[in-house]
Amino acid sequence: MEYDSMTVAELKDLLRDAGLPVSGKKAELIARLQEAQDTPAEEELEEMVEEEEIDTEEDEFESDDFFEDEWDDFHTARQKPVLDEDTKAALATRAAQKKKTPSFRRQEWFRYKRLSRTGWKKPRGDDSSQRKNRKYRSALVRVGYGKIAAARGLHPSGFEEVLVNKSSDLEGLDPETQAVRIAKTVGNRKRSTIHDRADDLGLRVLNRRRISRRGDLR
């Protein structure tokens, strides 16, 4: 297209249609339109290259070698417990009971900020309104708030928790009904050994950590 024979107003209309700025002299407008004509060819070439790269990535993803070598590192499914119908019903009942349980707070937790971050403590004052169970005070811990006995002590997933301190404690555990909780005093060296042994036995570790295995921890 010959831009030299066109007026400035016509050039600006073309620039507006192309979404380009319309400021400048006639020579600048013509140069801007000529650059816009050369750009689409480069963009089409870049799009073709990107499509080829995407096709190559899809081929790599669909190959069998990808699934054999890489897929196992993405996600490892956690073990699920094998529960009977009575245990499932007990867990559902416990969850429903927990929704109705009040939050037990110590006396005057609302008055002092340092007390708002603490848990339950039994009120012992002679004139304590909470000890006298006045209705405008927090609820008292009572035996009636206890949950169903069949689900007592079970993890929310349904596993029976077993506290371990060393890898030998894992022997004899049932991976279908029992899960492992590592004691908080266990270091990374022994913890990594417990992780490996639990994986070999098919046991679930409830408080598993990511351990950077450097040096002699590898």
What is the gyration radius of the CA atoms in the chain, in angstroms?
A: 35
Dihedrals phi, psi of 4, to nearest 5 degrees: -65, -30
The verdict on pTM exceeding 0.95 is: no
What confidence tier does 61 reach under pLDDT thresholds 50, 70, 90?
A: very low
Residue pLDDT, tens place only, 117-141: 888 999 999 999 999 988 888 899 9
What gap in Å lies between CA 152 and CA 138, rounded to an integer? 25
Q: Which residues pair with 205 in a beta bridge?
A: 180
Q: Would you kindly state where each structural domain of the chain is located, as residue ranges? A: 8-73
59: helix, coil or strand?
Answer: helix
Helix (H) or strand (E) holding 182: strand 178-182
